[in-house]
Structure 1
């Protein structure tokens, strides 16, 4: 029995990166022999059985041998195996591509063997921003799209690659590589609709909506939820009639539905779906927070705090305007502390809508007082 450390763990070891997940390959032994040696292991999977032992996966060579298994993997830089004595076995181009920082398919059929690898390759582009896609990779991605091979897969598999890309150092590379290879459809139709749509008047924007969203994502890299909010915040601009370009009046409202649809299609967690919808609906208000009346500020802060999005929304608004605006965030946090301290008198509680309206009025008055606003806020029935 020979056991090899394989895939990304070997790649990361050779790159001097921290290894987080370890996958193993078992050669010259069947499942029964392995389970006999390691009785705490569990055999899972049907079409491609693997064994789980101490939190790691142990699989058997595809194609019947280690060499064939390496040929059948996705990218050359992932097609390496390290045995228990430290001997490295690798795809013929693996070490060259690792040194040259190239993302290259292992074989001419790497992506058609499993078309979800198109999204996996794009995710690696985001995780390794100094690596370049090879012409072969772009050709195979484009061919998979043209053959209609990207549709019909389990949404969870595609969504998992998206989730990992959102955590990457340069999350936009996931989407820009897909766009370059004509692979945004059918999974990212809301983003595909943004390509070629001017983000706004030339005085404020020099990119289309797609490139602008990618740019904002990268300014917020390091926070997956914020990256998703950046991706979703301007989706409404793709719904603007062409004759109204480059203006996009009301895109904050019209973007809520596309943000929801994108999250649902990709099976993103509910918190991501709600954050994307809120990013579209609220980023314009957050971007001009200093100009808002006390009542509008109260309503905005209450909505954001209910979703635990206050800090993120103001960071998104600042990144959207190419600013590092910590002053506005500090002001919003101060205002939030003020309104959350407001309490209803005991005799005004438990009166249904009347209690809610009174609480809002008292919060408006408290905010108006610290801002020097002379007129009290009107009561708004909501």
Structure 2
């Protein structure tokens, strides 16, 4: 029985990047051997165990065979006679197929270290084309390591395109797609993920609502970049600069979906694109089974982002009513997320990337002023029932008025 560290821990150590998780492959052992050593089984598709002390993952070396479409269409063979080389050859990218033994010796049969040095994402073997999930994984690695200068090998991109053309990505289950999207949104350069998906054709299959934004023109007066798809990627880039929260980045990504269905005869104007976008955002979230907090913020940003841009034109009462619609007084953190996504929209335009955040500050000031109004004081004045809510709104409007002048 031999144990090797594999995958991301080895890769990131060689890149001098912080190692988050450690994964291990166990060669020359059986399920019974692992159980006898008090490892806890957790694998559903194949034997994976948690170490009794560290709780890190240890997987038995395995081989796999494609038997059906999709991510789950594999049969696995796990036995003590499966070698380290057998296990590594089934991995996706050469940079993920490097192993390190307990003495620190590296095993690199597929020249992953060379590709690390050359900054290339390259598939290990032709079996790459058997797993459609690898399209999303490569796109995610391209986003994560973009700042390191990594690019995708041409032959690997060709395989990804082939997977799309053969409808393999269509077989991916919604939960797995969302898991990869959410991970990508948490990476340093999330817009690269969606650009890679578009390059290989997968974006049109998995997120057609975003794909159809490309080629849709906007008014050059407000959007020097013109193309709505380009604008969306720029907004996502700005959201990543402004916030580490993937929920903010997701809302920024979807905020302009309504522009994708504007009739061509109305281009480059997009009147009421906010309201047209709401059902599209809801459809995306339902299809991918997106968590409620992501869905709620994305819907609010889609419907109300123009109010953010027009704060100087809004009446005091309109601002207070908007704060109520956003549920800002009960959910101030979500309101802050709303502001960041809207600010990313403002900065996600050619020439505006380093513009000020004055509108964000004004909205924060209005909220803080309105939030100072005390309901207890209104009750103490003798108001009851619906009159309390009415007086609360009146006083909040007055507080916003003072704040703005």
| TM-score of the superposed pair, with normalisation by structure 2 | 0.86
> What is the 5 A alignment of 1:124-143?
124-129=141-146, 130-143=149-162
What is aligned with 1:193? 212
Matches within 5 A, 1:102-113: 102-110=120-128, 112-113=129-130
What SS does the aligned partner of 1:248 have?
coil
- Which stretch of the first structure deviates more once superposed, 20-29 or 266-275? 266-275
* Equivalence for 2:372: 341
Residues in 2 aligned to 1:195 and 1:326: alpha-carbon distance in whole angstroms: 27
Question: Which of 313, 325, 333 in structure 1 is aligned with 2:338?
Answer: 313
Partner residue in 1 for 2:135? 118
Match of 2:41 in 1: 43
Partner of 1:376: none
Residues 292-331 of structure 1: matches in 2 within 5 Å?
A: 292-304=314-326, 305=328, 306-307=330-331, 308-322=333-347, 323=352, 324-331=355-362
Q: 1:218 to 1:51 in 2, by over 3 A?
A: same
Say if 2:110 and 2:124, in contact at 8 Å, map to a contact too.
Answer: no
Mapped pair 1:2 → 2:8: no
What SS does the corresponding residue of 2:204 show, helix, strand or coil? coil
- Deviates further, 72-81 or 302-311: 302-311
* Contact map agreement 1:294 1:367 (CA 8 A) in 2: yes
Tell me the residue number matched to 1:380.
none
Matches within 5 A, 1:114-263: 114-129=131-146, 130-198=149-217, 200-205=218-223, 206-221=225-240, 222-263=244-285
Q: Using the TM superposition, name which of 139-148 and 203-212 deviates more.
A: 203-212
CA RMSD of aligned residues (A): 1.7
SS in structure 1 at match of 2:4: strand
CA distance in 2, matches of 1:264, 1:125: 27
SS at match of 1:255: helix
* Residue 328 (structure 1) shift: 2.4
> Residues 37-116 of structure 1: matches in 2 within 5 Å?
37=37, 39=38, 41-53=39-51, 54-63=54-63, 64-110=82-128, 112-116=129-133
Could you give the per-residue CA deviations for residues 322-347 of structure 1, whole angstroms, max 9, x where no partner exists?
25433322222221122122235226
Contact 1:229–1:316 under 8 Å retained in 2 = yes
- CA separation of 1:88 and 1:245: change in aligned 2, threshold 3 A: same
Are the counterparts in 2 of residues 287 and 314 from structure 1 also a CA contact under 8 Å?
no
Greater relative CO, 1 or 2 (CA 8 Å, sep 6+)? 2
Name the residue aligned to 1:276. Answer: 298
Q: Is 1:287 equivalent to 2:285 in the alignment?
A: no
Deviation at 1:244, TM superposition (A): 0.5
Q: TM-score, normalised by structure 1?
A: 0.91
User: Structure 2, unaligned stretches of length 5 or more?
Assistant: 64-81
